Chain A
Amino acid sequence: DAKTTQPPSMDCAEGRAANLPCNHSTISGNEYVYWYRQIHSQGPQYIIHGLKNNETNEMASLIITEDRKSSTLILPHATLRDTAVYYCIVRPTLWPGNTPLVFGKGTRLSVIA
């Protein structure tokens, strides 16, 4: 079962920042927060992940609250190509071994011209 809660849909005006929230109140100390997105009928695309510090890359920024019970993905200047379903996933890091990603329903972001 997915351990995150996301709003089912959001709209954002083109050129504005898109802020996508995620609640993960039962997150454990060894679990990372991952964000993926899926553009219609394509494979999910990795965006960013973090443990407790805020993270930024060329695609987005990830803000994690101090208690780690929620996070926000920020797309600083949304474009029409950012229209997609965005998934927030918590996943433990086990060494060695792999833990598969478990997807919920995500947030459908519509960027509007």
Chain B
Amino acid sequence: ETGVTQTPRHLVMGMTNKKSLKCEQHLGHNAMYWYKQSAKKPLELMFVYSLEERVENNSVPSRFSPECPNSSHLFLHLHTLQPEDSALYLCASSQDGGLAAFFGQGTRLTVV
């Protein structure tokens, strides 16, 4: 248990569906991140939120829409995804000052 909880753990969705991934951290951190890990590829940073403001967006397609309503919660809204978006989506949090980031267990997403 890392203090970062992601739901759901598994999700199967059609290409026309709209779904959301949720991340919650109980560590008092002020930064949260979304990463994507496709099969046999390194983790790719998608979004960074610091103090609830988005500070980085790594050329992610608009069909992925993040939301950070407060410092403890992070969402990734999904719509009209493609089969190649099937991957493990990981959330992480950290605190200012460069301390270690902690990851959730991820959501395994399959787009059919």
Q: How far is the CA of A46 from the CA of B2 in the complex (A)?
A: 9
A9 to chain B, nearest CB (A): 13
B74 to chain A, nearest CB (A): 13
A-side residues, CB < 8 A to B, are 2, 32, 34, 41-46, 49, 91-106
A47 to chain B, nearest CB (A): 9
Stretch at the interface among B14-22, B59-67, B77-85, B95-103: B95-103
B92 to chain A, nearest CB (A): 8
B11 interface residue per 8 A CB criterion: no
Beyond contacts A42-B106, A105-B42: 4 other A-B pairs, Cβ-Cβ < 8 A, are A43-B90, A44-B90, A98-B50, A102-B45
Q: Helix, strand, loop or mixed for chain B's interface?
A: strand
In the bound complex, do residue A101 and residue B101 qualify as a contact, i.e. CB atoms below 8 Å apart? yes
Give 30 A-B contacts (CB < 8 Å), ordered by A residue: A32-B98, A34-B100, A42-B105, A42-B106, A43-B2, A43-B4, A43-B90, A44-B43, A45-B2, A46-B102, A92-B98, A93-B97, A94-B98, A97-B55, A97-B96, A98-B31, A98-B48, A98-B50, A98-B55, A98-B94, A98-B96, A99-B98, A100-B33, A100-B101, A101-B92, A102-B45, A103-B35, A104-B42, A105-B42, A106-B42
B-side residues, CB < 8 A to A, are 2, 4, 6, 30-31, 33, 35, 42-43, 45, 48, 50, 55-56, 88, 90, 92, 94-98, 100-106, 108
Which of A41, A46, A105 makes the CB contact (< 8 A) with B100? A46
In the bound complex, do residue B98 and residue A100 qualify as a contact, i.e. CB atoms below 8 Å apart? no
Which of B31, B48, B106 makes the CB contact (< 8 A) with A43? B106
A94 to chain B, nearest CB (A): 7
Which of A43, A92, A100 makes the CB contact (< 8 A) with B105? A43
Q: How far is the CA of A104 from the CA of B42 in the complex (A)?
A: 6
In the bound complex, do residue A100 and residue B56 qualify as a contact, i.e. CB atoms below 8 Å apart? yes
In the bound complex, do residue B97 and residue A95 qualify as a contact, i.e. CB atoms below 8 Å apart? yes
B71 to chain A, nearest CB (A): 12
